[in-house]
Chain A
Amino acid sequence: MKQKQSNLKAYIFIAVLLLLVILLENISAMIPGLPQVFQPTSPLFTVLKKAAVYSLVAVSMNLLNGFTGLFSLGQAGFMLLGAYTYAILTVPADQKEQVYYLFGGCALKSSIIDGLGAIFGTTGAGGAVSMILGCFIALILAGCVAAFFAYLIGIPVLRLKSDYLAIATLGFAEILRAIFQWQKLGRITNGANMIKGFPTFSSFNITDASGNVLVRLSTFIPFLISSVCIAIIVLLIHSSYGRAFKSIRDDEVAAEAMGINLFKHKMLSFVISSFFAGVGGALFAMYVANAQAKAFTSVMTYEILLIVVIGGIGSVSGSILATFLYVACSEWWLRFLDSEQYIGGFKVPLLRNGFRMVVFSIVIMVIVLFFSQGIMGNNELSLSGLMKVLSGKRERKH
């Protein structure tokens, strides 16, 4: 009963948050003369979009590393699969010739959206329905392809222990990256070139017939998809499967002795985590408006791993919090470190291109070395807990 009530509270919280995002995005159109931060071009919205995408990937990595204790470094590979699946399936037929011009067109003549367009119509409300439905199906398929490959990879690899598993999954991600850059597959993957022209976040803005934006939804969409996916992961963690995952993490031998099928549960966690990494990869492709194998290097995996560590291994809310902090710092708040600054007539030394990342990595090292619990440890942020902390502080003051 209590569980149900707190679930309801969480759903209401997510709904309110999503409404706030829509409001924030459109506030500059409703009230003119707001500061630059609220304009659609402000870095605030870049940060929100990117962080929404990364938080899904970080939580999916946390499911594997933090809750099941499988140290996998294959996240970028599964994101790549998701991004390419989404991109290949949704590039409209009339764009294909242009995108695949080096290979004389794509092997896949039509896209999901075109197929649905034949049913619902391609203009007005029918066009919107077929675009939204098409993107939705493509996102799910992106996840499914990633999950399928995870299953194939998992059969040999999940028998390995800790660091061997890490290096093997890292290797698989590199192999995938090479395959997707192979010119022989150019008619499908466009070789080493990027695929573009597919629907991105801003395609979801509601426009009038002449193309003027009426309601902006380009930040809302990644928030919506990420929060639905993260909610599913949280429900999974709270289920009996989730408890089995945690028991594997804490003591593999004891878990096996209690009758938990190690391989089956590890595989389940690996496949589900990869599914959401695939969806995250598709969202990432939507965010950067292209899909290119070059982007999904091991550096990306390391970045996500560091986010998970900063948030606290084994805490979903920690991962989300850390993602927003990390992305905001790297894309916005620490940007000033990259250009020359003057305080009065004094030129601040050291500041030039690249300094931001140096400061950033030193901060990360300090967190890794001295605050290995991260922001949240393995606790979760909850509304009632937050209230307790606040009221507790107030009581102490009196």
Chain B
Amino acid sequence: MEYVISVLLSGISVGGQYALIAIGYTLVYGILRLINFAHGDVFMVAGLMGIYFTATLPIGESLPLVILLTVFLGFTIERAAYKPLRDAPRMSVMISAIGVSYLLQNTATYVTGGQPMTYPTIPFLSDTVNVAGTQTKWVVIITPFLVLILVYALTQLINRTKVGMAMRAVSKDFETSRLMGIKINNVISATFIIGSALAAIGSILFFTNYPAITPTAGAMPGLKAFVAAVFGGIGSIPGAVIGAFLIGICETIIKGLPSAWDVSVFSDAFTFALLIIILVFKPQGLFGEAATDKV
């Protein structure tokens, strides 16, 4: 029983961390129709910045700085690598995203020297707590609540503010909203800023509970978060969050199965199998709107 609780707890927490990344994917895809392959690497860079800043600055200053610089990174990537290709075919933008991901990974290898880096212990988040007889870290307990608060704030932003309205308009119809006087570039920048900020918060939560950061550490969580976004219906924020929690829980359950079966190697593969099943049987995801192609 205690084992089940601990698996479920860590599943929910991993799911919450995926959810924060998945929102970045789903927002960007909703507006630009672009799988932002670099998003997972932005997440990894945020983790690395966390390591380097906490080494010299106190935690209270370094964590806001990490979020700020990650936002700046996301903004710069959009302006430098995606904006020049606004009118190019979708495939070119995706290749550009893959190029950015390659660049970020190689730069990270250069800066760290290819060594795995250990994330610092953050007071309180890394402290252990006893829940129903199982030892766990506070970060595991806090993550789901923090995610729910952030998602609530985000939905308020999207449904109640002018920027949010503009974002909804652009994701409905790119061309028309441009004609209606919406400043497309500002809206897209805002999307990337929100996505990167959430990825930075996600990286703090994720890597606190993770042994080490390597330059490729962001790729797999990034892909899984994207799968979560597809699962929930791309463009839908609640969908992405539910998808992420589901994938996180399933993944930890597979990892926690008896080692005699030796199925833990399939914890990543399971996510992709889920993706393919969803794409084949319900391509619009759980909450997505069915798109109709007009000739």
Contact = CB atoms under 8 A, between A and B. Distances in A.
Interface of A: 65, 71, 156-157, 159-160, 162-164, 166-168, 170-172, 174-175, 177-179, 181-184, 192, 253, 298-299, 302-303, 305-306, 309, 313, 352-355, 357-358, 360-362, 364-365, 368-369, 372
Contacts of B272: 170-172, 174-175
Contacts of A354: 106, 109-110, 113-114
Contacts, number: 129
Which among A65, A183, A302 has the greatest number of chain B C-beta atoms within 10 A?
A302
Which among A174, A181, A303, A368 has the greatest number of chain B C-beta atoms within 10 A?
A368
Contacts of B85: 369, 372
A368 B92 contact: yes
Contacts of A167: 35, 223, 226-227, 230, 275
Interface in B238-279: 262, 265-266, 268-269, 271-273, 275-276, 279
Contacts of A168: 275-276, 279
Interface string B71-107: 0000000001100110010111011101111110111
B107 A358 contact: yes
Contact of B276 (A172, A184, A192, A253): A172
Contacts of B14: none
A184 B264 CA distance: 12
B268 A182 contact: no
A303 B279 CA distance: 26
A358 B106 contact: yes
A360 B34 CA distance: 24
Given A178-B265, A182-B266, A306 B110 contact: no
A361 B96 contact: no
A241 B99 CA distance: 32
B81 A365 contact: yes
Interface residues of B, number: 47
A352 B110 CA distance: 8
Given A354-B106, A357-B109, A364-B102, A166 B35 contact: yes
Contacts of A352: 110, 113
Nearest to A361: B103
A357 B280 CA distance: 38
Given A184-B262, A353-B114, A369-B96, A360 B269 contact: no
B110 A355 contact: yes
B4 interface: no
Given A353-B114, A354-B113, A369-B81, A160 B106 contact: no
Contacts of B110: 352-355, 357-358
A368 B96 contact: yes
B283 interface: yes
Given A357-B106, A368-B99, 15 more contacts: A157-B276, A163-B35, A167-B226, A172-B272, A178-B266, A182-B265, A183-B265, A192-B265, A352-B113, A355-B110, A358-B103, A358-B106, A361-B102, A364-B103, A372-B88
B293 to A, nearest CB: 8
Contact of A160 (B81, B99, B226, B279): B279
